[in-house]
Chain A
Amino acid sequence: MDNVLSARVLMGISLGFHIIYATIGIGLPLMLMIAEGLSLRTRDELYHQLARRWIRPAGVLFAIGAVSGTILSFELGLLWPRFMAFSGPLIGLAFSMEGYAFFVEAIFLALYIYGEQRLSRRMLFFCTIVLTVAAAISAVFVISANAWMNTPTGFRLADGKLVDVHPFQALTNPSWAHEALHGTLAAYVATGFAVAGVYALHLLRGHRSEYNKRALTLALAVASVSLPLMLVSGDWSAMTIAVQQKPKLAAMEALFTTTKGAPLYIGGWPDPATGTVLYGIRIPNLLSYLAFRDTDAIVEGLDAFPPGTTPDPRLVHPFFDLMVASFFIMLAPAGWFWWLHWRRQEVPLNKWPLRALLLASPFGMIALESGWLVTEFGRQPWIARGHMRVTEGVTPQTSIGLVLFTFFVVYLALTVGLLMLLMRPATIENGTKAPQEDRHVDP
């Protein structure tokens, strides 16, 4: 594989891997905070126990988040040194701020996990508040760096040199607001559904303890409050892109030619050879309406831009549809569940609503990964849109294929190890305490 391709694949795999743990690292603290808060308010121990039982998986997932994040920050230099030499002075600020947020996160996570015997209940609750805020802040800042790649601002180039550098302008670049909002909410949706799925499975298997019911309700509540906001903020993202990143919008919607009153294609396979969308459902004028709130607006297609400066719609359009479809896949069972809950005033334990929830539970992560692929593939061929191509940002080192292979093995090993650890049926989830004796094994 050639160097650029290897570097891109490695960056994509690394980010796709990290984002799963990062997402849980943002979503889980919020649930811990709610549980600890409820426990303090209602003086109900069960909520506290709920939170404490999440610690074991959370500890491992956080650790993998930290090490995979470290790989990423090294990869910025190992794979994209030329890009970083150019953009470091601008996006470095966002990463620095994120770094302090990491510190705060790591500190308060340790205090929360290990502090049970050394800290008061109130202090533990306080730790979860700091954790929740710090995690959200770290997401918001790292997303600023990504947003800058989409809409680079805060500098001028004179003879290839940076002049007029304004780091705070770079930080608050035009894509930041919508990406940060949509991206952070997504973490709550994805974690909420994933956790809800675990407890739906337990309930389906007949472990109908109060503990499982509460855990399911809490996780699903977090997810369901955030879910409708995804539609609103996603719509805002799309409208902003329609102005700022026209080629990305065209690729997302598989619009090959500039059209007045553009149609929306749902599904289908964009075929660049013929400039048509095969097998898609075509809804006339809808794209113009969604992008500009005017059914007759002109939407620029891929043909409006010089060849070689637009992304490949075959990589972008399907993932965009997958993200939006996932939204509806999650909306339906969540709506069903709350409807039954409201009717009966208790947690519904029927098979089908729970099965539907279980089925929908991975779609938060699926939507999140595909959303990121839309953003990243949709930026191509640029690493910093309009200023530097991916091929100009890559390292001159030549053995990146080997590095890719090495890290592929590392990720595989981590994933296998983690699955082996988490899949082990710990008795914990039934609401009974696991055998407590510490089994020391001498190495």
Chain B
Amino acid sequence: MWTLNNLAAGAVYFGLVMYAVFGGADFGGGIWTALASGPRAREQRDKLFYAIGPVWETNHVWLIFVVVTLFTAFPKGFAALFTALLIPLVIALIGINFRGAAFAFRHFGRETGERIPFMVSLFAVSSILTPFALGMAVTAIATGKIVFVNDWAQAGPWFWISPFTLVGGLVGMAICAYLTPIFMTVRTEGELQSDFRRQGIIAGLIFGLLTTVEIPVAMTDAPLFVDRLLSVRGAFFVTVSVISGITTQILLWRCRFQWSQITAIGTVTLTITGFAAAMYPDLLIGQLSISAAAAPPASLRAFSLVLVIGVIILVPSLLLLYWTFRGEPNPKLPQ
């Protein structure tokens, strides 16, 4: 269990969770920018915008972390994934680019007001596109349709489109749309807070619905995945994540926002953990195991050493960042 291979796989898993929780919330900001409605739509958008400002670049680095860890520790798996998933990854990349650029342009171009509406729609559209494409790409790994011929990964050009992955894309979006309003409830007050509370509850219902639908859909598209998901280990995480999700809804209902923020993170983490548990011990389900994809031990040892040093540097820095920008988003922009 505690092998170097699994440690490295754990790092990939951890990076994914961090990206989903923090980066996901930033994408959710874009999704709710598109969906903002009611008399306070503008305030909602502004609050979202200010909250994302200081943190999105840091949150984005988790994605880089996942990619780099994959090619360092699982070069064979990385090569297979990036070969087979060329199209969805290109789509995600385009979204990532326009989102980052639109956000920065809007932010630092404030004095040049007239471009803002265009930038906002670009920001919103790419915030929807990216988690959808990434959700499809991640769930496509669970279909088992990437096979190895002569040691080289092959898959049909459109294998990544199926009901299972489409729902997977929607789940990706739902994760983002779920976290953001809940995170925002602790950063706002009054009517705005109840707006975000309502959005959080709705998103929670949709998130729950989509993950539930994913299971029957997977029976045809990803049979091995469902088998493992419904085994003892997988079912455990499914159950706990459902409990966590329901708890979050209750807490939101009762306006316990601090706590609901924590359980919402728990729900997303446990959902991803359930996915990871069903994948284990494979990287590409049924085709390539973690140990078969792993880099030579010397590389994994070096990777782990650097990981430890990295954590020692990172943890205090991250704490400083989130601590400095805790609470109400500061509307005063740098000039």
Contacts and interface: CB of A to CB of B under 8 A. Distances in A.
Contact of A435 (B83, B103, B111, B295): B111
Nearest to B117: A443
A123 B211 CA distance: 45
A119 to B, nearest CB: 7
B42 A442 contact: yes
Given A67-B97, A81-B78, A96-B72, A395 B86 contact: yes
B302 A99 contact: no
Contact of A89 (B110, B112, B295, B331): B295
B55 interface: yes
A93 B53 CA distance: 30
A420 B332 CA distance: 24
A84 B302 contact: no
A111 interface: yes
Contact of A85 (B79, B86, B309): B79
A55 to B, nearest CB: 5
Interface string B32-53: 0100000001100110000001
A182 interface: no
A77 B134 CA distance: 15
B104 A89 contact: no
Interface stretch (B200-208, B245-253, B270-278, B311-319): B311-319
A304 interface: no
Given A113-B54, A165-B298, A85 B64 contact: no
Interface residues of B, number: 80
B216 interface: no
A107 B53 contact: no
Nearest to B294: A89
Given A88-B71, A108-B317, A118 B101 contact: no
B324 A118 contact: yes
A66 interface: yes
Interface string B80-102: 11110010011001101110110
Contacts of B298: 89, 165-167
Interface stretch (A68-76, A214-222, A262-270, A350-358): A68-76
Contact of B117 (A88, A96, A441): A441
B299 A92 contact: yes
B190 interface: no
A106 B54 CA distance: 9
A158 interface: no
Interface string B47-68: 0000001110110110111011
B42 A104 contact: no
Interface in A114-164: 114-119, 162-163
B325 A421 contact: no
Given A85-B76, A109-B57, A74 B89 contact: yes
B113 interface: yes
B310 interface: yes
A410 B75 contact: no
Which of B86, B113, B321 is most buried by chain A, counting CB atoms within 10 A of its CB?
B86
A106 B104 CA distance: 14
Contacts of B57: 62-63, 66, 106, 109-110
Interface in B93-142: 93-94, 96-98, 100-101, 103-105, 107-117, 120-121
Contacts of A81: 78-80, 82-83
B317 A107 contact: yes
Interface string A388-426: 000000011101000100100010011001101100101
Interface residues of A, number: 84
A248 interface: no
A60 B110 CA distance: 12
Contacts of A119: 324
A342 interface: no
B333 interface: yes
B115 to A, nearest CB: 8
Which of A113, A399, A403 is most buried by chain B, counting CB atoms within 10 A of its CB?
A113
A435 B86 CA distance: 46
A52 B335 contact: yes
Contact of A67 (B53, B79, B101, B107): B101
A434 interface: yes
Contacts of A55: 334-335
A379 interface: no
B75 A104 contact: no
B17 interface: no
Contacts of A70: 60, 63-64, 93, 96-97
A165 B296 contact: yes
B75 A66 contact: no
B108 A99 contact: no
Interface in B119-169: 120-121, 152
A223 interface: no
B219 interface: no
B73 interface: yes
A92 B53 contact: no
Contacts of A114: 53-54, 325, 330, 334
Contacts of B333: 438
B7 interface: no
Contact of B105 (A396, A421, A440): A421
Interface string B272-295: 000000000000000000000001
A100 to B, nearest CB: 4
A110 B58 contact: yes
Which of A52, A82, A100, A406 is most buried by chain B, counting CB atoms within 10 A of its CB?
A100
Nearest to A162: B296
A335 interface: no
22 contacts: A63-B57, A64-B104, A66-B100, A71-B93, A73-B67, A74-B67, A81-B83, A87-B75, A88-B78, A103-B65, A110-B55, A114-B53, A117-B330, A399-B86, A406-B94, A413-B98, A421-B112, A426-B111, A433-B335, A440-B42, A443-B117, A443-B120
6 residue pairs, one from A and one from B, having the closest CB atoms: A92-B72, A77-B82, A88-B75, A63-B104, A81-B79, A89-B299
Given A73-B64, A92-B75, A97-B310, 14 more contacts: A52-B334, A59-B108, A67-B100, A78-B90, A86-B75, A89-B298, A93-B303, A96-B310, A104-B317, A167-B302, A399-B86, A403-B90, A421-B108, A443-B33
Interface of B: 33, 41-42, 45-46, 53-55, 57-58, 60-61, 63-65, 67-69, 71-73, 75-76, 78-83, 86, 89-90, 93-94, 96-98, 100-101, 103-105, 107-117, 120-121, 152, 295-296, 298-299, 302-303, 306-307, 309-310, 313-314, 317-318, 320-321, 324-325, 330-335
